[in-house]
Structure 1
Amino acid sequence: MNTAAQPPVGEKVRCLACGEVFDASISVCPVCGASGEWLALYVPETNAFRRESEEIFLIVGGGIAAVSAAEAIRERNRLCSIVLFSEEAVLPYNRPMLTKAMFDSLAEEALAIHPRSWYEEHGIYLMLSKRVVSLLPEERELVTDDGAHFHYDKCILATGASCFIPPIEGTGLAGVVAIRSVTDAAAAARRAEAGQNAVVIGGGVLGLEAAWALKKAGCHVTVLENSPRLMMRNLDAAASALLQAAVEESGVAVVYSAQTDKINGTETVESVTLRDGTVLPADLVVVSCGVRANTALAQSAGIETGRAVVVDEHMETNLRGVYACGDCAEFRGVNRAVWPVAAEMGACAGANAAGEAAVYAEHPVPFTF
């Protein structure tokens, strides 16, 4: 039994597993699912830098990198205007919880990083259901899909990433989903009725989390992993064996060294065929094969990109006054595309956009289930 004293009301706690900070009222980390003993009292660092100005900061994106950037700017500048553009219709939310909470509450208030009142209190204007289609660096403007133009003094790109869909026949069938948004998770949950067959293509963290959620919902679940063991790039053989044992104990089946040939069905998925001829019945297929950075907006503006948007140690791109952070950014040739890194990059981008000279420092990236 955990006998540790509970933090006072109004305090903050940091999750020692993923590094995120929350109100002390939580008992389980809403990002990584770590239990209460992993939550420690958080004492925020005092930031002495201030630059009060009436600049306009436009942030493109609705994830943790965007929110962290906005928060960092507001901490340093109380007079500026901050506008955050998100393509989704809901408040910025804890995206890692999508595969964990697929059959729990996907309601906005349950997943939101901050309640709507937080943005109002911090003077951060949310432009939801707004897609930015152009960045005009000469004019220092963003253009949205309805043709509106917005001037900026500093711009931060936090456009995130999209699920990679491998070139497999049948990925467009109804019942084939890649979980990246609340809408995706809800679609998967609607199709996953007890007794149905679910196939998960990809045995990484998110794929396994989706598999466990589907199994708990009563589905017969098979994970297709193209490597000879689970998470070969992240775990040594001994750790991978422990993970495999836990997966098998949960009742989830795993096919190793699996090569998916095609997904079968007329309009709706019916089965999955492997290259060795094995046919697996499937009422639902979850594709979890990694992500690719969203770089189209940056590329169209002449910003340097590699696998993602190239940034320096200040999170600034090759265009002065334009920053990038989170899943859409790469630093020193590496695109991490994980939540804790996105939060840190966003905070660094926001600090520097506000005028500070913060230097991004990489930290070890935890993996949690």
Structure 2
Amino acid sequence: MGEGKKNMVKCLVCGAVFEEGNEVCPVCGVGSENFVPYEEEKNNFHKNTEELYLILGNGAAGVSAAEAIRERNSTCSIVMVTKEDCLPYSRPMLTKAVMGKDEREELLLHDPAWYEEKGILNLTGKQAEKIDTKEKEVTFDDGIRLKYDKCIYALGSECFIPPIPGSEKNEVVAIRRLSDIEKLNSLLSESKQAVVIGGGVLGLEAAWELKRTGLFVTVLEHGDQLMKRQLDQESGEFLKSIILEKGIDVKFQAVTREIEGEEKVTGVRLEDGTVLPADLVVISAGVRANVSLAEDAGAKSGRAVIVNEHMETTVPGIYACGDCAEYEGINYAIWPQAVEMGKAAGANAAGEKISYKTVTAALTFNGMDTSLFAVGDPGKDPGRTYEVRREEDEEKKIYKVYYYAEGKLTGAILIGDTSDMGRILEEIE
């Protein structure tokens, strides 16, 4: 027997699969208590061709699609193009432990040798401007045109910037790309007070990282509780108390009217007239899918580009996956969905017929020296009767709630101890 194949594990938080032995997940940074053993599905389909596969975008979906194509076709050409200036990296890590540090290398999903070995060509710093479906070619902003036999549209999403006067100022950052973090890091040394607009997972992660670099931080939440869609009121309150204890201020029903300052940002003015002093503002108000290029090429879209279970758009030869794709009205814009959609898009583009199965949308948050996991329906359907089980340990900062309807687990929220995550996911699925 030669060397045994390394055992693989899967991260329950982000869905990443990697070799066992890692202390933390290379994609989302959580600890090994969130890993489960992973058996790779055997792929028996193989068909070598001389086709050209052009992948637009190099996030989780694009890389996943490239890998799925190469597994099934050893001789085709695969070209992945991005407007960013770097190889694919872990986007979830941007709002985690990278503020104040230069960790470009450590964020990469694979080193350059991996792409060489797989024969995947990366072109960086090129923005796609037009897809010509008749000629089957894509034109880029530098004038080059690339032909394709199959095109994988994986252009992701952009941060939504609400129409707030002053949001164009230099000290206002929305964290979506490595370049945003690099810009933020360049502003840190001159900043003392930060305001984060948006109390979702990414906003809270950013707030925690800013706090850890020594800033005074205020989070502005539009609603009347944190993460209202995924948490019930009690767990929202419990999370709030943890955040306040860490010295981060949270303001609810806070609507930003203007970001003030002449030369530089000086403060954030709310609708009620309150002015919060600030020299740095982070906006985390959700994302919008990049659909315009696909729409111009004739693809139908809703909130994102509409695809069938094979990830085909309404335009022959063009597949879409990740944050920019919508299947059966669903677009969660989360990493596990991008990975699974990418796999399905790549496999189908390579000629195998496989169906994408919608991933379970779980909310995970790691920061403030705690961890949070929420999945399913936490009692939000007025037409249902729920049985609710709560466990709370104020001292250890642990809070758990389970929602049941018709004897089945419909939703769960864990704060402070998420070790039950795997079992809950299985039960809900």
TM-score, structure 1 length as denominator?
A: 0.95
Q: 1:78 maps to which residue?
A: 74
SS at match of 2:113: helix
1:116 to 112, 137, 155: 112
Residue 186 (1) aligns with residue 182 (2): yes
1:312 partner letter: N
- Runs of at least 5 residues in structure 1 that lack an aligned partner in the other structure: 1-7
Q: CA deviation at 1:309?
A: 0.7
Instruction: Give distance in 2, aligned partners of 1:15 and 1:46.
Output: 20
Q: Does 1:98 align with 2:94?
A: yes
Distance apart, 1:248 and its partner CA: 1.4
Superposed displacement of residue 257, structure 1: 0.6
Q: Does 1:202 align with 2:198?
A: yes
CA RMSD in angstroms comes to 1.5
Task: Give the superposition deviation at 1:102.
Answer: 2.9
1:42: Cα distance to partner? 2.5
Alignment partner, residue 22 of structure 1: 18
Structural mapping, 1:157-306, within 5 Å: 157-193=153-189, 196-306=192-302
Looking at structure 2, the residues matched to 224 and 125 of structure 1 have their Cα atoms a distance apart, in angstroms, of 42
Contact 1:199 1:223 in 2 (8 A): yes
CA drift of 1:19 comes to: 1.7
Q: 2:27–2:109: 8 Å Cα contact kept in structure 1? A: no
Which SS does the other structure have where 1:367 is aligned? strand
**What are the Cα deviations for residues 84-103 of structure 1, in whole angstroms up to 9, with x where unaligned?**
00111111100010010232
Deviation at 1:302, TM superposition (A): 1.2
Q: Which consecutive residues of structure 2, in runs of 5 or more, have no partner in the other structure?
A: 366-429
Which fold has the larger relative contact order, with Cα–Cα distance below 8 Å and residues 6 or more apart in sequence? 1
CA distance in 1, matches of 2:195, 2:292: 31
Q: Once the two structures are aligned, what percentage of the paired residues are identical?
A: 51
Q: 1:195 to 1:306 in 2, by over 3 A?
A: closer
Change (3 A) 1:219 1:166: same
Residue identity in the other structure for 1:284: L
**What are the superposed Cα offsets for residues 67-118 of structure 1, whole Å, 9 maximum, x if unpaired?**
0000000011111110000111111100010010232644332001111111
Note the alpha carbon deviations across 1:297-346, whole angstroms, 9 max, x for none.
Answer: 11111111111111111110001110000011111122211111011111
Q: Which residue does the alignment assign to 2:348? A: 352
Aligned equivalents of 2:363 and 2:57: distance in 1? 24
Structure 1 CA distance, aligned partners of 2:19 and 2:85?
Answer: 24
1:367 aligns with 2:363: yes
Q: Deviations over 1:171-222 (max 9, x none)?
A: 0112000000111012112222387000000000000000000001110000
Q: TM-score, normalising length from structure 2?
A: 0.82
Distance 1:43 1:245 in 2: 40
**Residue 10 of structure 1: how far off its partner (Å):** 4.1
Structure 2 contact 101–185 (Cα < 8 Å) conserved: no
Structure 1 range deviating more: 300-309 or 188-197: 188-197
Matched, 1:59 2:59: no
Moved more, 232-241 or 156-165: 232-241
Alpha-carbon contact 2:56-2:155 (below 8 Å) kept: yes
